[in-house]
Amino acid sequence: MTTAKYDAIIIGAGIIGNCITYELARKGYRTLSVDKLGGSGFGSTSGSCAIIRFYYSSPEGVALAREGYYYWLNWPRYLKVADPHGMAYYKNTGAMVFKTEVNHHLEKVMTSLDALGVGYIELSPEEVKDYIPNPDLRTYYPQKRMDDPAFGQSTGAQVTGAVFAPESGYISDPKLSTHNVEIAARNLGADFMFNTEVVDILRSAGRVSGVALSDGQTLQAPVVINVAGPHSSRINAMAGIIDQMNIKTRALRVEVAHVPSPEGVDWEHGGVITSDSDTGVYTRPETGNHVLIGSEEPACDPLEYVDPDDYNLEFTDQARTQAMREAMRIPDLPIPNRMQGVVDLYDVSDDWYPVYDKSSLPGYYLAIGTSGNQYKNAPVVGAFMSDLVQYCESGHDHDTEPLQYRMKYIDYTLNIGFFSRNREINAESSFSVIG
């Protein structure tokens, strides 16, 4: 049995786990990050599309993403290190979101952007043609599966337009960015243990007291934080708290397609991020002059909840379906015989908004349910989760008097109670990766 004593143990060294570790270390906590994989960001963070965009269904979601954006712009200054592996960086592309009935023609999103002073322009269908090559602007909603005879047949004359936000983009390498945060945290004294699996959450005197590892060791700490991504519900089961949460989390298997750009188009350097709830896909430029195509979970597609330790790593016809949907919008898009891309997991909550909270077990905290859309927010989450630990450990009851987090870059105070494990399901949510 080890005698190591820490102020806080963080389960999971993904982008969110490491940002929490870094912020706790900045506050002087002696932290230990434990991950069952071989390094930082090897879990679902490594499969992330790492898109930085502001359109969310709630004002809180928009504000959080806007605040996060500034951390990425100031990445080396935020971390105060130069990682010998290199530093990840933000690539600005702009993001174009189609106005559809699904997103209520972006009325609420534009109100939230206006409130924060975020610039955008509204595009007519004619103007959309300046942003995507040779587009077909007919409507295709509602989406269908490939085996439906009506798949690929338009359902209306023309989309109504789009909103283009010039300040949007993506991070060059999500795994490297997570390593960058590890180096910054180590620089402040944080410890990391890799290839180390947590198998139990320990309690003593009515609160959390540490974790047990698969090799029989135990590690003690008065604070334990579940940032285990798609394994979050496994860890919560160990802590015995699931029955005391209104919002649950589950691992969802997703596919992302990478297809070549249309001939003669330099999408890698000139392309934008697109979100198209009419065809049901989002895209961003990808290295190798590819177009990366993810799903916005249209109603016709079954959601594949899986065992995070035992799921199909091969493509099904889902990636091809997504590519074909994008080809409805860009008919010149080549669809290869063999699909390339990513198969990975989201940790999805009941309303596709995350749970950032304490729990019914004193000292045990949650940063889970990130639902395929929280990479961009990781640095802000690190900042307010470290505040939340201090707030609760100094005797405040976050359930009755939720922490109010004053943002650093924008003029906004975020009620962290918005992310409560005991909230009612957010009926305003898109119930998709959009959040």
Ligand X SMILES: Cc1cc2nc3c(=O)[nH]c(=O)nc-3n(C[C@H](O)[C@H](O)[C@H](O)COP(=O)(O)OP(=O)(O)OC[C@H]3O[C@@H](n4cnc5c(N)ncnc54)[C@H](O)[C@@H]3O)c2cc1C
Q: Could you tell me the two tokens for 153?
A: 């047949």
Instruction: For ligand X, give the closer residue by CB, 200 or 399.
Output: 200
> Which C-beta is closer to ligand X: that of 137 or that of 256?
256
Closer to ligand X by Cβ: residue 47 or 262: 47
Decide if 232 contacts 226 (C-beta within 8 A): yes
Residue 400 beta carbon to ligand X: minimum distance, rounded to whole angstroms = 27
Q: How far is the CB of 94 from ligand X (least distance, A)?
A: 15
Between 35 and 326, CB nearer to ligand X: 35
As measured in angstroms, the least distance from the Cβ of 246 to ligand X is: 20
Q: Which is nearer to ligand X, 59 or 161 (CB)?
A: 59
Least distance CB 19 / ligand X (angstroms): 8
Minimum separation from the CB atom of position 308 to ligand X (A): 8
If the CB atoms of residues 257 and 392 are measured against ligand X, the closer one turns out to be 257
- Which is closer to ligand X, CB of 139 or CB of 297? 297
* 68 vs 161, beta carbon nearer ligand X: 68
Q: Where along the sequence are the contacts to ligand X (CB under 6 A)? A: 11-17, 34-37, 42-45, 47-51, 197-198, 227-231, 254, 256, 342, 344-346, 370, 372-376
What string of H, E and C letters represents the secondary structure of the chain?
A: CCCCECCEEEECCCHHHHHHHHHHHHCCCCEEEECCCCCCCCCHHHHCCCEECCCCCCHHHHHHHHHHHHHHHCHHHHHCCCCCCCCCCEEECCEEEECCCCCHHHHHHHHHHHHHCCCCEEECHHHHCCCCCCCCCCECCCCCCCCCCCCCCCCECCCCCEEEECCCEEECCHHHHHHHHHHHHHHCCCEEECCCCEEEEEEECCEEEEEEECCCCEEECCEEEECCHHHHHHHHHHHCCHHHCCCCEEEEEEEEEEEECCCCCCHHHHCCEEEECCCCEEEEEECCCEEEEEECCCCCCCCEECECCECCCCCCCHHHHHHHHHHHHCCCCCCCCCCEEEEEEEEEECCCCCEEECCCCCCEEEEECCCCCCHHHHHHHHHHHHHHHHHHHCCCCCCCCCCEEECCCCCCEEEHHHHCCCCCCCCCCCCCCCC
Min. distance of Cβ 356 from ligand X in angstroms?
A: 11
Q: How far is the CB of 401 from ligand X (least distance, A)?
A: 26
Q: Rounded to the nearest whole angstrom, what is the least distance from the CB of residue 264 to ligand X in the complex?
A: 27
Nearest-approach distance from CB 150 to ligand X, in angstroms: 28
Nearer to ligand X, 127 or 191 (CB): 191
